Amino acid sequence: MRFKDSPVVELPVGGAVLSFEQDNSSFHVGTSVWPCSLVLVKFVERWLPPQNPQNPNPNPNPNPSNPYADLLRLAGKRGIELGSGCGPAGLGFDFVVAADVVYLADSAPHLVAAIDALLAPRGLLLLAYQLRSPDAHRAFWDLCARAFPVVVKVPRDHLHPDYAFDEADVYLMQRQQT
**Confidence band for 139, pLDDT divided at 50, 70 and 90:** very high
Cα(first)–Cα(last) distance of the chain, in Å? 34
Whether residue 85 has pLDDT greater than 50 = no
Whether residue 36 has pLDDT greater than 80 = yes
In this structure, CATH architecture of domain 8-174:
3-Layer(aba) Sandwich (3.40)
**How much of the chain exceeds pLDDT 90, in percent?**
39
Helix, strand and coil percent figures for the chain, each rounded to 5: 25, 25, 50
Look at 4 and 87; give whichever has higher pLDDT. Answer: 4
User: Residue 136: what residue type?
Assistant: A
Burial group, residue 88, by CB count within 10 angstroms (0-12, 13-18, 19+)? exposed
pLDDT tens-place string over residues 86-106: 333 444 789 999 988 998 999
Question: At a CB cut-off of 8 Å and minimum separation 6, what does 96 contact?
Answer: 79, 80, 81, 82, 115, 118, 119, 123, 124, 125, 126
Whether residue 170 has pLDDT greater than 80 = yes
Q: What is the mean pLDDT of the chain?
A: 82
